[in-house]
Amino acid sequence: MNNKPIGIFDSGIGGLTVAKAIKEALPNERIIYFGDTAHLPYGDKSKESIRAYSKRITGFLLSKGCKAIVIACNTASAHAYSELRKFYPKVPIINVVNPTVNYCAEKFDAGKVAVMATKGTIKSRIYPRKIKKKNPALEVPQVAAPLLVPMIEEGYFNNNISQTIINSYLSAKNLQDIQALILGCTHYPLIKSEVEHFFQGDVEVIDSASVVAEFTKKVLKKEGLEADKPEGKDQFIVSDYTSSFEETSKLFFGKSVHLVEERIWD
Ligand code: DGL
């Protein structure tokens, strides 16, 4: 048993979709969430920058007493996970890619499982590489959707314009005849219904938040780190505060959150 908090981080507030799923799956757990809004978006930053940001944020969360770290960002999972594991070998570190890869490789025997994500995640080819390693019979076409993160961060979804942008990405030729689509960015659960609307129920749309929450539960259990009761308040920290982030956070987390600014780069 261990009642210390779980540290969760993302480039911004999109990772709150993962934090929400973790709170639902693990109601006894306390979380400290860090959104690196000063450096958002990570999707078009270099690997080197993302590694440096992720290391600094993990160090910060560990200094706050976190017992485990969840990288609630696909781009940081793609670029910084191995590095963080090497740098902090004693801390359980969970990324959002591996649990989703395992889910797909086990669920689909053959056919096409596509991935839509930021430029950084698509360029890393982390999903095709890992899925094909586990199940070579699967094809993994990819589509980069750079407009979606800023659009969602602005609270811009479930309207005609967002549906048009989403439709245009999903009309890519290589996405024809797919069986499933991985929403490879933690911002995308907010547009899941618009993606499902495009496919009219013919394609399974996989949102990694719940898969990752279940995986986090397993890891805490295996490591004997589960909390036995809810203790203390959750904290939500950003590296650059604006009131619009606080507004949008509600949509991601499902209820109001109070964002506190910590300028950990200064
Ligand atoms: N939420 C992050 C992800 O899952 C990306 C957002 C960004 O580009 O900063 O990839």
Whether residue 182 has pLDDT greater than 90: yes
Please give the average per-residue pLDDT across 240-264, as a whole number.
91
Which range among 3-7, 41-45, 80-84, 116-120 shows the weakest confidence by mean pLDDT?
41-45
- What residue owns the CA closest to ligand 1's atom 8? 43
Q: What is the pLDDT of residues 2-21, one digit of tens each?
A: 999 999 999 998 999 999 99
pLDDT value at residue 244: 81
Q: How much is the average pLDDT of 21-33?
A: 97
For the chain, the average pLDDT equals 95
User: Within 10 Å of residue 94's Cβ, how many Cβ atoms?
Assistant: 24
Contacts of 154 (CB under 8 A, 6+ apart): 244, 248
66 is catalytic: no
Q: Domain map of the chain by residue range? A: 6-95+210-261, 98-208
Q: How confident is the model at residue 195 (pLDDT cuts 50, 70, 90)?
A: very high
**What pLDDT is recorded for position 154?**
80
CATH of the domain spanning 6-95+210-261: 3.40.50.1860
Q: Are 99 and 40 in contact (CB under 8 A)?
A: no
Choosing from 26, 73, 115, 116, the catalytic residue is: 73
pLDDT at 266: 81
Is residue 104 annotated as part of the catalytic site, yes or no?
Answer: no
Q: Is the pLDDT at 265 greater than 90, yes or no?
A: no
Residues 77-82, mean pLDDT to the nearest whole number: 96
DSSP-assigned states of every residue in 50-104: HHHHHHHHHHHHHHTT-SEEEE--HHHHHHHHHHHHHHSTTS-EEESSHHHHHHH
Q: What percentage of the chain reaches a pLDDT higher than 70?
A: 100
Cα-to-centroid distance, 110 and ligand 1 (Å): 28
What distance in angstroms lies between residue 42's CA and the mean position of ligand 1's atoms?
6
pLDDT of residue 245: 82
Mean of pLDDT values over 16-43: 95
Range 98-208 classified under CATH 3.40.50.300: no
The band of 247, judged by pLDDT with boundaries at 50, 70 and 90, is confident
Annotated catalytic residue within 185, 190, 205, 257: 185
pLDDT surpasses 90 at 264 = yes
Q: Are 6-95+210-261 and 98-208 the same fold in CATH? A: yes
Residue 92 confidence (pLDDT) above 90: yes
